[in-house]
A and B are shown apart, each in its own frame.
Chain A
């Protein structure tokens, strides 16, 4: 139980700076260490470009570390992303199945949830129309409804807590918070401190690709704010 599910030690990830032969590397993550345990809700904070999203993709197993080590137990991690694999000329129904398969669901599971997806996305008869005919709001509602079906061991969320118009934002936001409260293991990336404060119990603070500190929510927030104040007072 207390054995970490995922453990990163001094992990770095490099990208080539541009699509040229022999172009230099740039390290989006330089030195990040963190531990994630069962049932934990871990928040990742840091400024724009600090490497939060890259880190999330490392945890998801999409990117492999170029240095450092990552230990993970056999488990499924899923980045909650909208409209994965959506194809314009297919119906909402077919897209829901396709997308569900891509985010790791079995076909029978996704098919049995189609009525729920249709209901939640409020698409009505449009569900059987090609999604090329959808408005952007309809597309987002479908995307969110499908993405919510994923049931990984660890759910990774990158600031898409609420999508669509005001009404659907409320609905999608609360559905997601509900998921997080059900005791799933969650990693959440967000700029929104109130959101992080409300949803996470532990935090990791990332700055320039390095993990500055990891600990309980209040501890890390305190350190983070001290630094922000210092930075604003500096000449």
Chain B
């Protein structure tokens, strides 16, 4: 049974990536072109026009957007996975957690390709590899846990209230701006900075940027806190999905 589930998840992930590749005319190119275009827009607004970018704005933005894109994809793609597969859920008996998991794995594999490219860009731009790279796996594991938890939570409720999708897109955009993805939080007035620092996304971005751009070890205590939050979010998400799973086959898609 478990072996079978592993095979199912593995092949579905492969199928998802493969289908995505052949779905569009340029296929894999979009994996890179899409974030690159987004980066161009922010660079134009914040650096060229408003001149608020600060030093090393492009690499700062590049790292931030790459990591954020991964988190956001896990939350939205994973989050819409059960809803999108209701037709299938009505036909066959498959543990519903498979659907968000497959999306999250597919997005994670995609992220690793994009990240490899990001590293090359950074090296060329004058940010060479350094010893703190050793901390990257830990940061990534926490990031994955956090995003997966968000994805599970969203995936549990969207089938019941599909209209939530519109709200979720807006919330994620807001979180992106509140998390220092596109501008440094130093620009935020000091009393507010403490509040901003409670945001797990900020901790994860700071850790990644510190490693890649400044050869700085992450703030382990903050990372530990985020990982605890992530585990809790994951557990709640999985719990809600399992709890609601008898209802999904009864829903119209």
Contact = CB atoms under 8 A, between A and B. Distances in A.
Interface of A: 15-16, 19, 57, 60-64, 77-79, 81, 84-85, 87-90, 94, 97-98, 101-104, 106-107, 130
Interface stretch (B1-9, B42-50, B52-60): B1-9
**Can you list the 9 inter-chain pairs with the closest CB atoms, starting with the nearest?**
A89-B19, A107-B7, A101-B8, A89-B22, A64-B246, A81-B91, A61-B93, A62-B249, A87-B19
Contacts of A85: 88, 92
B15 A84 contact: no
Given A15-B250, A130-B22, A98 B92 contact: no
Interface string B231-253: 00000000000000010011110
A106 to B, nearest CB: 6
A62 B90 contact: yes
Contact of A101 (B4, B18, B88, B249): B4
A97 B11 contact: yes
A98 B12 contact: yes
A107 B250 CA distance: 29
A107 B15 contact: no
Nearest to A94: B15
B7 A102 contact: no
B23 interface: yes
Interface string B7-40: 1100110010011001100000000000000000
Contact of B92 (A81, A90, A107, A130): A81
Nearest to B250: A15
Interface residues of B, number: 23
A102 B18 contact: no
B138 interface: no
A85 B252 CA distance: 17
Interface of B: 3-4, 7-8, 11-12, 15, 18-19, 22-23, 88-94, 246, 249-252
A15 B248 CA distance: 11
Contacts of A64: 246
B8 A102 contact: yes
B91 A62 contact: yes
A19 B88 CA distance: 19
A20 B173 CA distance: 28
A79 B19 CA distance: 26
A108 B3 CA distance: 12
A87 B16 CA distance: 9
A94 B18 contact: yes
Contacts of A78: 92
B7 A98 contact: no
Given A16-B250, A89-B22, A90-B18, A101 B11 contact: yes
Nearest to A76: B93
Given A16-B250, A19-B252, A103 B22 contact: no
A89 B3 CA distance: 27
25 contacts: A16-B250, A57-B90, A60-B93, A62-B90, A62-B91, A77-B93, A81-B92, A84-B92, A89-B18, A89-B19, A89-B22, A90-B15, A90-B19, A90-B22, A94-B15, A97-B11, A98-B15, A101-B4, A101-B7, A101-B8, A101-B12, A102-B88, A102-B92, A104-B4, A107-B11
B31 to A, nearest CB: 16
A15 B247 CA distance: 9
A77 B3 CA distance: 19
Given A57-B249, A98-B11, 8 more contacts: A57-B90, A62-B249, A84-B91, A87-B19, A94-B18, A103-B92, A104-B4, A130-B22
Contacts of A15: 250
A79 B7 contact: no
A97 B11 CA distance: 8
B23 A89 contact: yes
Contact of B94 (A81, A102, A106): A102
A106 B22 contact: no
A5 B3 CA distance: 25
Contacts of B18: 89-90, 94
A62 B93 contact: yes
A63 B91 contact: no
B19 A84 contact: no
